[in-house]
Amino acid sequence: MPSDPAAPVRSASPDDLALVRAMADRRPEAMAELYDRYAPTLLGVARSILGAGPAAAEALHEGLLEAWAHAERYLPARTSVATWLVLIVRARALARRRAAGPAPVAGAAAAAAAPPRSEPPERARRRQRVRTALAALPADQREVLELAFWEGLASSEIARRTETNADGVRRRALEAMRALRRTLRDELRERM
């Protein structure tokens, strides 16, 4: 999806950032703490792409190993630790799904229906605000974002699936991201 150069720069929470730096120093307790904080959410992402089978747990494991191996590459000015981890696990899950061939997936609806078991209250409120903002998007914009994120489709693939052109897909994605940014502006400020 196109990025907006005027988008606010995000930063990691100091506590999460310290854990990633400790992970880069190969301190296993830092990985254990990040696992405790984020594994339920990350497993939910993997399950939304791969279903509830063992492949989702394997994608989580692979993603966390990748984060461990490349912790020194994390750039706090680009994204939060949580987003960095989600994107790594999502990439591992999508790679596993592609390698396995076409199969039905749980999708965004299942991910939304199954929040992590022991989620901190503030994270649960943030998750709900994001869900509400996504639900408020026009259906065509929401569909483009879901196909791009949950299925990892390129704009040309989304265009075929939605029977539109790639420019239309990119326009919908850009409009959706702008709307989400406006709606979640306060949320973004809290995260900075």
In angstroms, the Cα distances linking 93 to 66, 72, 83, 177 are 13, 22, 15, 23
Domain residue extents for the chain: 1-106, 119-192
Distance between CA 190 and CA 63 in Å, rounded?
27
Whether residue 23 is predicted with pLDDT greater than 70 in this model: the reply is yes
Q: What is the mean pLDDT of the chain?
A: 83
Task: Look at residue 189 in the predicted model and tell me its pLDDT.
Answer: 60
pLDDT confidence of 126, banded at 50, 70, 90?
Answer: confident
The helices-and-strands tally (H runs, E runs) of the chain is 10, 0
Nearest to 90 by CA among 37, 46, 47, 151: 46
Average pLDDT over residues 77-99: 92
Distance between CA 118 and CA 73 in Å, rounded?
29
Q: What is the pTM of this model?
A: 0.68
Task: Look at residue 117 in the predicted model and tell me its pLDDT.
Answer: 57
Task: Look at residue 176 in the predicted model and tell me its pLDDT.
Answer: 92
8 Å CB contact between 81 and 15: no
CATH 1.10.1740.10 fits 1-106, yes or no: yes
Task: Look at residue 7 in the predicted model and tell me its pLDDT.
Answer: 36
Task: Look at residue 165 in the predicted model and tell me its pLDDT.
Answer: 93
Residues 136-186 pLDDT 10s: 999 999 999 999 888 888 889 999 999 999 999 999 999 998 998 888 887
8 Å CB contact between 144 and 191: no
Task: Look at residue 152 in the predicted model and tell me its pLDDT.
Answer: 86
CATH 1.10.10.10 fits 119-192, yes or no: yes
